[in-house]
Each structure stands twice: as C-alpha cells, then as structure tokens.
Amino acid sequence: MRVGQNPAKFVKEVPQPERITVAVLNYIPFVSGFYADLPEVLDTCLKRIRETADLPFDLLVFDNGSCEEVRQTLARQRDEGLIQYLILSEKNLGKGGAWNMIFGAAPGEILVYTDNDCYFYPGWLSESLKLLETFPNVGMVTARPFRTRPEVYTSSVVWAEQEPDVTVEHGNFIPYEVFQEFDLSLGQTEEEICSHYAASEDVRLTYQGVQALTGASHWQFMAYTDVLKQFLPFRMDRPMGQVKQLDERMNQAGYLRLMPTQPYAMNMSNTLRSVKQGAESVEKKAAPGLKYKLLDFSLVRKVMLFIYDRIFKWYYDR
C-alpha cells in the first residue's frame, strides 16, 4: 500500500537538454606505461571543451572500464556539475559498443563525439556547426583539416561535381606545417609524412560562400544524432582497429564528410609534451636526443612495439 504522494507529481516542468551534446569516450585501465599521462590528457581535453566551446552544450562522458582512480575523478566532476551525463561501464565494450550506447543515449539533436585525447581551440564548436548547417546532407564534420583516404569521401566529391552552385578545387590547401603537426601526433616519421604529403592532395569545396575540405574522421566529429542512429548497431569484435567502418558506411550512404580549412582541434595522443598549457597552439617538437633517435630506428621500433603489444595482451586482453 502506498504511503503519501510521490513529490514528483507536483513538479511542473523538467530541465531540457541543450541542442548539442558533446560526448567523450574514455578508457584508462591503469595509470602507468602507455597510460601514465592519460589522466592529465583526459583532464586537459575536458577543460578545453569547457573553456573554448562558444555555444551551449551538455557534456557526456562514457567511461569504458577505466581503473577506479579515474572513475572516482569523473564521478567527482559530475557531482561538481562539470559533467552533465556520466556513464560508467564495468568492462571495456570497445569503441563499437561504446558508440552503440553514446549514439543511442545522447539527448541532444546534435552530437559532438571525441576521443579523450583531443585538444580544442577557440571557435571549434561554432565553426563545425557552420559546416554542418550550411552544406546539405552532411554526415559528419571533423574540426581539423588533415588528409584522409579518398575512397571514404567519394560521395562528397560526386555531390560537389554535380552541384552547379559548388566550386571544386584540387590541390595543396592544407599548409605542410599543419599537415605535419597532425601526422607527427600519430607517431609517423618525418620521411613518412613528407612522402604522404607529396603523394596526396586536398579537395576544397565552396558553397554559399563557405569553404570546406572533403573528409572527416571517427576520432572527432560533429553529426546529427538521428543520422548516427541510422548506422546502429556497430558490431566490432576488437577494442580498436575496426572503427573506420563508420567512415566507410557513412560515405556509402551518400552523406557528406567535411572539415574546416583551418585547424580547430589537435590530437594529443597519450602525452601533453607537445601541447603548450593554456595556449592556443601546439609546441614544435624539440630535437630528439640520441636515445630517442635510436628508438625511432625502424627495426628497433618494430621490435619494441611488438614486445609491448605482447605484454599488454598477456595482462589485459583476457
């Protein structure tokens, strides 16, 4: 038998979510080795979202089975009102499993997704939204120009070439320094970066006075929530390595995939060494010492990374 009336019956209205939900996927299983600096990287990512966003948003964090220390930190930020929605998964569902929950749960009309190692610059949110709302049939917008595989933005090029109101240009529109900055963060060598830049090109579109480069990426993007839900569920049997299927499936469905012509985001990877704290630029990497030159030697690098991969799987991939 019920005792009394539920007080919620007398609540006249409830707060509505913001139009934009910014979702961060986090995974820090332990704080050592590769992950030693990642708690600080995550904290920087969340701070930069709050400090540089120039439009209202709600922040959603999906933690994919991190260690207790990290989970407690996130819970504390939620309690302080810095995180509006916090989802704590008991185990690592992989990026596909996390996307299934994030894309399905995000309350906003527009979702901004980012990995936990993205460093944002002022204007990133409004500039991404400008491309999303100006161009028709946009699937996703990544807040930084870089060169992606041409085969995953063919729909963008086909649309542009058939649309009389669009100007299509092919060439080197991303300055080499901007291109190099991003590829260095992926662990590529200077030789690999130079070769990639020389062998590839940019496709620039101008529509209604707004310019964009073709391409986008799964590591950070803005999209309409109802568009993303069309691609659910994602079935990935590995934690990483299969995430490009979002890029491929969105292109196959005919959606545009775009980037601004200027960088509004940067990949920190697993360290803050390349980032100037509190600044709006990324530090140039210092000349490496002898130890790091040796570690970058191709054969040494392959052997060391193979050993690291084996150790990680023995302990954590069970």
pLDDT of the residue at 304: 66
Closest CA to 133 of 252, 255, 223, 262: 223
Evaluate whether 265 touches 257 at the Cβ level (below 8 Å): no
pLDDT of the residue at 168: 98
* 166-171 and 138-141 beta bridge pairing: unpaired
pLDDT of the residue at 244: 84
Closest CA to 145 of 124, 168, 126: 124
d(CA 143, CA 120): 9
d(CA 11, CA 7): 7
The pair phi, psi for residue 120, each rounded to 5°, is -100, 150
Helices 68-79 and 38-52, packing angle to 10 deg? 20
Evaluate whether 298 touches 255 at the Cβ level (below 8 Å): no
Beta bridge partners of 206: 167, 211
Using only C-alpha atoms, the chain has a radius of gyration, in whole angstroms, of: 21
* 118-120 and 256-259 beta bridge pairing: unpaired
pLDDT of the residue at 13: 75
Beta bridge partners of 221: 113
Evaluate whether 218 touches 228 at the Cβ level (below 8 Å): no
What CATH code is assigned to 20-267? 3.90.550.10
Domain boundaries, the chain: 20-267, 290-318
pLDDT of the residue at 317: 53
Evaluate whether 203 touches 213 at the Cβ level (below 8 Å): yes
Q: Per-residue pLDDT for the chain (318 aa), expressed as one digit of tens each?
A: 778 777 766 666 778 999 999 999 999 999 999 999 999 999 999 999 999 999 999 999 999 999 999 999 999 999 999 999 999 999 999 999 999 999 999 999 999 999 999 999 999 999 999 999 999 999 999 999 999 999 999 999 999 999 999 999 999 999 999 999 999 888 889 999 999 999 999 999 999 999 999 999 999 999 999 999 999 988 877 655 577 889 999 999 999 999 999 999 999 988 887 664 334 443 343 344 555 456 555 566 667 666 766 665 565 555
Q: H-type helices in the chain, by residue range?
A: 38-52, 68-79, 94-105, 124-134, 154-162, 176-185, 190-199, 225-229, 244-252, 290-295, 298-316
pTM of the predicted model as reported, rounded to 2 decimal places:
0.84
Neighbours of 225 (CB within 10 A): 18
pLDDT of the residue at 295: 57
